[in-house]
Amino acid sequence: MTKSTGRRVTANLSLTLDGRYHGPAGPADMGAIVSYATTEVARRYLTRIWEGATTAVLGRGNAEGFLGFWPTVAADENADPRDRGYAKWLVDVEKVVFSRTLTVAPWDRTRLVNAPVAEVVAALKSEGEGDILVNSSASIIRPLLEANLLDRLSLLICPEITGGGPRLFEDGLPPSKWQLTHHETGALGETAVVYDRTP
């Protein structure tokens, strides 16, 4: 049996009102979400998700996409300090990237893995300190929900309906109960929530 160090597995994701994490045209179809990403509520949300986290877990798509954006923010002295704080954390933190195709890590301080998500994250929980943040990667969050390995879920709910695109919460997930531990709504109707798993 894998021992636990008490590390908490947290995850964050932005969703539309109809539960989509991108629109029907594919992963680049983020119009219903990206327009809320620079609000005060969203920026405070961004700061909360990485505080206390010492490992970032990403799917390949996000790892490659983030690489084209966040390092430039980390280097930009004129960027919003909250955006820059997250960007610097992401650049510097230990990263675990799940991929079946990559052979060279797209970031420094990155370990590529091609193994079952639940096994890898359970092993991460058994060593080290600090939270493990699953960073905007539904392909990782869903298997962790299926394996009951997720301890905290941070969501930014964007007040739009796309009518298509993939959903995070699909049929077949095991029952679980969650307690609302943070809630904040912005001027545009965007809502940041944090749910912690209850026993």
84-123 pLDDT per residue, tens = 999 999 999 999 999 999 999 888 999 999 999 999 999 9
pLDDT score recorded for residue 2: 46
pLDDT score recorded for residue 5: 61
Integer CA distances (angstroms), 139 to 12, 146, 162, 178, 199, in order? 12, 11, 20, 21, 25
Residue 189 has pLDDT above 80, yes or no: yes
Residue 1 has pLDDT above 50, yes or no: no
- The average confidence (pLDDT) of the chain is 94
Torsion of CA 60, 65, 66, 71, to 10 degrees: 120
| 11: β partners | 134, 153
Burial of 121 (0-12, 13-18, 19+ CB in 10 A): buried
Report the pLDDT averaged over residues 49-62: 95
Give the model confidence (pLDDT) of 22-43 as tens digits. Answer: 999 999 999 999 999 999 999 9
Task: Give me the residue spans of the domains in the chain.
Answer: 9-197
Choices 3.30.420.10, 3.40.630.30, 3.20.20.70, 3.40.430.10: CATH for 9-197: 3.40.430.10
